[in-house]
Chains A and B, each alone.
Chain A
Amino acid sequence: MFPRPIEHAPVSRRIIYQVMLPISLFVWLLPLLAIFMTSIRSAKDINSGNVFGWPSSFDLFANYSGVFIRSNAGQYFLNSIWITVPTVALSISLACLAGYALAIYKFRASVPLFFLFIAGNFVPFQILMVPVRELSVQTGLYNTVTGLVLFHAAFQTGFCTLFMRNFIRALPFELIESARIDGVKEWHIFWYLVLPLVRPAVAALSVLIFTFVWNDFFWATVLTQGESSKPVTAGLNALNGQFVSNWHLVSAAAILAAMPPVLMFFLMQKHFIAGLTLGATKG
């Protein structure tokens, strides 16, 4: 265990460590705490310049509900859900199929295709921006939730395929082989044998893709315009313009916008971390 386990260190060191932990966490999360404090402040405080001092009143409910009442935040949230959830479902489905193919079958194109998916995940968005926007406009998908879902699903497929392929590769191949010898059709092997086994990977991917797509700002800005399909990230930018100098409202909006992935994270930590760190270890 590295560094030296603290239990083996002198008591004084242990105590210092235990004391430093919460202090260092406080410093690390200071920006978040600051924004939370701002979000429960009253408008009076903000206007009189009392932004980081002790609040004169605690307006948590007023501010957070104010965000919804005074703007389209509710619509933005719904849009985010409508965009994120189908994307997760679609990209994982596509990736399970593709990952299975790349992992199980030996064919000449499998390694190049695999690397194509990886590389595609790393390209800068800007190289896709103009053509994807044009495509969306011409197919009538511009400024629709569907348009965003289709794009995000396509783009995330790269990462998801990489993930699923590695995961499926790690499964014992004898299971597949014996099923084949038994004459089980390929599709049934995939559906009844492999899919149940990859549930942990699917869980991890779901959480990750949810976070990435929920937090996306660029494509929300490029592919949507009006209030009807705008998700929270682009909406936050608009709210920042609308509530200018109303820091308490924008902070509340920002915290609300950040909430769902955070909740997801705390509820499904193990999966989240498993998803991010696959490839960080071998074996």
Chain B
Amino acid sequence: MKKILASLVTAASLTVSSAYAGELIIIYNDLNPTPKAAFEKVVSDFEAANPDINVKLSINDREAHKPAIRNFLSAGPPDITAWYPGNRMGPFVDAGLIEDISDLWASDPNLSSSFEAIKPTMTRDGKQWGVPYSYYQWGIYYRKDIFDKMGIAEPKTWSEFLAACEKLKSGGVTPITIGSKYLWTAAGVFDYLNLRTNGYDVHNDLTAGKIAYTDDRIRATFAKWEELVRPGYFVENHTSMSWQEAVAPFASGDAAMYVMGNFAVSVMKEAGLSQDQIDYFPFPEITPGMPRAEEAPADALFIPSGAKNKDDARKFLAFVARPDVLSEWNGTIGQLPPHSEAEVSEDKFIQQGMATVSTAAGLAQFYDRDAPAEMAKAGMEGFQEFMVKPDRLDAILKRLDKVQKKVYK
């Protein structure tokens, strides 16, 4: 009797676990046609390599995914979700909602050897929590044809940069376009100005709450920013434009430079520009001799701790960490694979990006991922306000200090 019961129980548990094994639920976060197609290809390649696994993929719009994830991580989590590393994964990791995959990082041949540069970003409390699949350079994208027509060369120093802006402005072209309605665009400008003025360590100390915003060094950053704001080098009415809307003046020739990440290139092309009209240069040097740190935010995949099918989820992450998968994926979306051995596309932006990033003295993850959420929000609002009302700098910095004290206790 006992034997029969035992075998019944075994049979039952086998059916239960096999109900979960074999189905992998993934929630991804980009509905734009190119990234969506690229990820769908990764999924179908994975299914082809693992015929016993069936993937159920659902995709959220990028912005909608951000509030959504905090809900579905606790209520009905998938097996894999897309999200951002650094401080952005902080709240979820600290609440125990993400699966610790340090074991995978240690055992997988790819993760344990070829992801060294990006490993710190994926680490918290000494453990690894996700697998990065892409990162991208930021820098200044510019209208090569306009620069050539006006005889402007790629500026390497701050004074060259200011001179270029002045020449553009007197030629009837707004030097820099920006769409600050979505606040992170202004944060990109701040990050670079701060990294170039004060360097990687000071910037990290700021986002870690160790330096105040009213510190003289940070004031120096804003002083540099003011040199761009006061003469009107930024496009007008940027507070009501999204970053995609800000591509329009860039495409029409009303503006000539854009401080952006590489994902913007496809939008620029969709707006009618050709590959030859756009080019890229890294953000110019401000403090002479300051080691060049770059912004290189990463996108990653995570396993929620409440996932039902963690085994297959780990298989998926291991698949994603392969250099061939990463090369193809990043080749399609025009970004950089985090695998140090992976092939990088021949595209000129990717090549320049790779050169910029691999020679960087440090990689920042972007203000809203390096700083905790509440600080990021207040900071970015401050940046936007500063761009419109530079006279309020003092009040803005004092306010940011107040928030900083509250947030970093």
Contact = CB atoms under 8 A, between A and B. Distances in A.
**A pairs with B:** yes
B405 interface: no
B58 A227 contact: yes
Q: What 5 A-B pairs are tightest by C-beta distance, nearest first?
A: A225-B68, A137-B75, A238-B61, A142-B75, A244-B244
Contacts of A237: 64
Interface in B25-83: 27, 31-32, 58-64, 67-68, 71-72, 74-76
Interface string A182-197: 0000000000000000
Interface of A: 47, 133, 137, 140, 142-143, 221, 225-228, 237-238, 241-242, 244-245
Given A241-B63, A244-B244, A143 B75 contact: yes
Contacts of A142: 71, 75-76
A246 B242 CA distance: 13
19 contacts: A47-B271, A47-B272, A137-B71, A137-B74, A140-B75, A142-B71, A142-B75, A142-B76, A221-B67, A225-B60, A225-B72, A227-B60, A228-B58, A238-B61, A241-B61, A241-B63, A242-B61, A245-B244, A245-B248
Interface of B: 27, 31-32, 58-64, 67-68, 71-72, 74-76, 242, 244-245, 248, 271-272
Nearest to A228: B58
Nearest to B69: A225
Contacts, number: 48
Contacts of A245: 244-245, 248
A241 B64 contact: yes
Of residues A140, A221, A237, A245, which shows the largest number of chain B Cβ atoms within 10 Å of its Cβ? A245
A143 B31 contact: no
Given A244-B244, A245-B244, A225 B64 contact: yes
Contacts of A140: 75-76
A266 to B, nearest CB: 32
Given A225-B71, A244-B242, A245-B244, A143 B61 contact: no
Of residues B71, B76, B245, B248, which shows the largest number of chain A Cβ atoms within 10 Å of its Cβ? B71
Contacts of A228: 58
Contact of A143 (B62, B64, B76, B271): B76
A112 B346 CA distance: 75
B314 to A, nearest CB: 24
A133 B61 CA distance: 21
A90 to B, nearest CB: 23
A225 B75 CA distance: 11
A227 B271 CA distance: 28
A176 B68 CA distance: 52
Nearest to B71: A225
B77 to A, nearest CB: 11
A94 to B, nearest CB: 27
Contacts of A133: 71
Contacts of B61: 238, 241-242
Contact of A226 (B58, B63, B248): B58
